[in-house]
């Protein structure tokens, strides 16, 4: 019998890679999307899976719509990847973020408890929950110290998932994923903003790229591998929580250096902090500048994950390093630039 899976956030980066994986594994994939995201299926088209998914409109703010879906289908697995997922936006829309990213999780869990207690549930938790951390590496036992309405909402989702697992004996797993990027990353996130920006500069379509705090450190992996980890978390006998990360951390400035090297651009950094600039060595023109408007009211300075537990129990390990990730992202940036 074909398994049926529900993926919320199907049009996002992770939704697309997870759908690709489940289709390969012969699942029937129900993709839930917001009404406003109907046209937003370029990722699914690029992976050539848009015709293989059954789409259902769903607002995570509407419990009736969630309940309707659970009455219509029998889900073996439910992956909650939908969220207001941009940290910066959460400062401008804290209530909407809390409602969707936080309470949305509870609405799904309530539907599972009421209509489908045997469905396995995956919650996409986030390394942002660790926030301002004082530990060299963060694992499943590390202290949370969230720094944004987004991170606080994710923390609610994480704890309510654990609570429903314990209280109602549901199979509810929480995957704490550190930053994971790919050519399918949204352009508002820093890695994609950089790869797209630098390629646009090289092609003469952009003069200067403006960024915020480039000294922040992140643990960046390849999203496709993280989707695999999410699926593995639902294949155990007992639900649990796992960190997905590479264990390496780099500044945004390091990421830029790696891109510039791969693109063979002759550049040099001049100045520091708000005056920092990346300059073309020959023409002396600015290529990257810092703009205060991209700084967040509260920043997360340092993240580095320890996925020993996922490695041991799931046999999951991040394979793509920073260099490999940059290559993947820039190659595809160049390919689609040519086709525009
Ligand atoms: P993050 O990702 O907030 O870590 O959350 P993002 O790429 O937005 O920011 C990473 C770091 O880069 C700094 N930064 C900038 N960020 C953006 N977006 N644009 C800029 O111009 C810029 N300049 C510097 C940020 O301040 C930050 O320190 C991501 C999201 O995908 C979350 O949904 C997910 O939960 C976590 O990763 C794990």
Beta-strand (E) ranges in the chain? 4-8, 28-33, 54-57, 77-80, 120-126, 172-177, 180-181, 209-211, 217-218, 221-222, 241-244, 250-251, 267-270, 277-280, 286-290
pLDDT at position 37, please? 75
CA of 179 to the centre of ligand 1 (A): 8
For residue 16, how far is its CA from the centre of ligand 1 (angstroms)? 20
Vertex 242 angle, CA 57 and 223, to 5°: 55
Q: Which CATH superfamily is domain 4-182+221-247+304-319 in?
A: NAD(P)-binding Rossmann-like Domain (3.40.50.720)
Q: Is 61 an active-site residue?
A: no
pLDDT tens, 284-296?
999 999 999 999 9
| CB-based pocket (< 6 A), ligand 1 | 85, 87-88, 126-128, 178-179, 188-190, 193, 211-214, 216, 218, 252, 294, 296, 299-300
Q: pLDDT tens digits for 63-91?
A: 999 999 999 999 999 999 999 999 999 99
Give the contacts of 210 (CB within 8 A, at least 6 positions apart): 288, 289, 290, 291, 293, 294
190-215+251-299+330-338 adopts what CATH topology?
Answer: UDP-galactose 4-epimerase; domain 1 (3.90.25)
Query: Of residues 17, 79, 150, 302, which has the active-site annotation?
Result: 150
Tokens at residue 163, please? Answer: 């609570």
Helix 322-338 vs helix 190-202: crossing angle, to nearest 10: 50
The alpha carbon of 266 and the centre of ligand 1 are apart by a number of angstroms equal to 26
Q: What is the pLDDT of residues 19-66, one digit of tens each?
A: 999 999 999 999 999 988 777 899 999 999 999 999 999 999 999 999
**C-alpha span between 182 and 192 (Å, rounded):** 8
> pLDDT tier at 98 (50, 70, 90 boundaries)?
very high
C-beta separation of 196 from 187 below 8 A: yes
| Residue 168: predicted pLDDT | 98
Half-sphere exposure of 8 (CA within 13 A, CB side): 27
Whether the per-residue pLDDT at 262 is higher than 80: the answer is yes
| Residue to substitute in 91, 146, 218 for testing ligand 1 pocket (most ligand atoms within 8 angstroms of CB) | 218
Candidate of 190, 212, 273 to mutate for ligand 1, largest count of ligand atoms within 8 Å of Cβ: 190
Q: Examine the residue annotation and report whether 90 is marked as an active-site residue of this protein.
A: no
172: pLDDT strictly greater than 90: yes
Q: What is the pLDDT of residue 305?
A: 98
Separation of alpha carbons 203 and 199, rounded Å: 6
Of the chain, the end-to-end C-alpha distance in Å amounts to 43
pLDDT in tens, 200-220: 999 999 999 999 999 999 999
Active-site residue flag, 150: yes
Instruction: Calculate what percentage of the chain has a pLDDT beyond 70.
Output: 100
Q: Is 39 in contact with 72 (CB distance < 8 Å)?
A: no
Look at residue 152 in the predicted model and tell me its pLDDT.
Answer: 98
**Length of the chain as a residue count:** 340
Band (pLDDT 50/70/90 cuts) for residue 339 is: confident
Whole-number Å distance, alpha carbon 84 to ligand 1 midpoint, is 13
Counting from 1 in the atom list of ligand 1, the atom nearest the Cα of 181 is 31
The catalytically annotated residue of 116, 126, 127, 174 is 126
- Cα–Cα distance, 165 to 63 (Å, whole number): 20
Q: Specify the pLDDT at position 35.
A: 86
Span 321-334, average pLDDT: 98
Mean pLDDT of 219-232: 98
Domain residue ranges in the chain: 4-182+221-247+304-319, 190-215+251-299+330-338
Q: What is the mean pLDDT of the chain?
A: 97
Sole residue written with tokens 């155990």: 236
The helix or strand, by DSSP H or E, that contains position 255, with its residue range, turns out to be helix 252-262
At 25, phi and psi to the nearest 5? -85, 10
Residue-level pLDDT at 13: 98
- Considering only residues 36 and 246, tell me which one the structure prediction assigns the higher pLDDT: 246
Please tell me the distance from the alpha carbon of residue 317 to that of residue 246, in angstroms, as a whole number: 8
Span 112-127, average pLDDT = 98
Task: Report the alpha-carbon distance of residue 85 to residue 153 in Å, rounded.
Answer: 10
> From the alpha carbon of 127, which atom of ligand 1 is closest?
38
pLDDT at residue 338 in the model: 74
């Amino acid at each position: 019998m074909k398994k049926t899976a529900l993926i919320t956030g199907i049009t996002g980066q992770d939704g697309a890679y997870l759908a690709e994986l489940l289709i390969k594994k012969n699942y029937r994939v129900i993709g839930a999307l917001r009404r406003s995201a109907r046209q937003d299926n370029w990722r699914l088209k690029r992976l050539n899976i848009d015709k293989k998914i059954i789409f259902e409109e769903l607002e995570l703010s509407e419990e009736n719509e969630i309940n309707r879906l659970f009455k219509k289908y029998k889900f073996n697995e439910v992956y909650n990847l939908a969220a207001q997922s941009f940290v910066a936006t959460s400062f401008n829309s804290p209530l909407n973020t809390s409602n969707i990213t936080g309470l949305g999780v509870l609405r799904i869990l309530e539907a599972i408890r009421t209509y489908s207690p045997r469905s396995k549930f995956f919650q996409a938790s986030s390394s942002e929950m660790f926030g301002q951390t004082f530990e060299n590496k963060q694992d499943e036992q590390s202290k949370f110290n969230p720094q944004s309405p987004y991170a606080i909402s994710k923390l609610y989702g994480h704890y309510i998932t654990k609570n429903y697992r314990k209280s109602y004996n549901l199979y509810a797993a929480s995957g704490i994923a550190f930053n994971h990027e790919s050519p399918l990353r949204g352009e508002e996130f820093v890695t994609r903003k950089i790869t797209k920006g630098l390629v646009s500069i090289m092609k003469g379509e952009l003069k200067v790229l403006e960024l915020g705090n480039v000294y922040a450190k992140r643990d960046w992996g390849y999203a496709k591998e993280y989707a695999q980890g999410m699926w593995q978390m639902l294949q155990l006998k007992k639900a649990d929580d796992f960190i997905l990360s590479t264990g390496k951390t780099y500044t945004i400035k390091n990421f830029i250096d790696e891109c510039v090297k791969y693109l063979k651009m002759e550049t040099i950094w001049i100045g520091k902090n708000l005056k920092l600039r990346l300059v073309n060595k020959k023409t002396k023109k600015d290529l990257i500048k810092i703009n205060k408007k991209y700084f967040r009211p509260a920043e997360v300075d340092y993240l580095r994950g320890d996925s020993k537990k996922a490695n041991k129990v799931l046999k999951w390990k991040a394979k793509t390093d920073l260099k490999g990730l940059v290559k993947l992202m820039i190659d595809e940036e160049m390919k689609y630039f040519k086709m525009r």
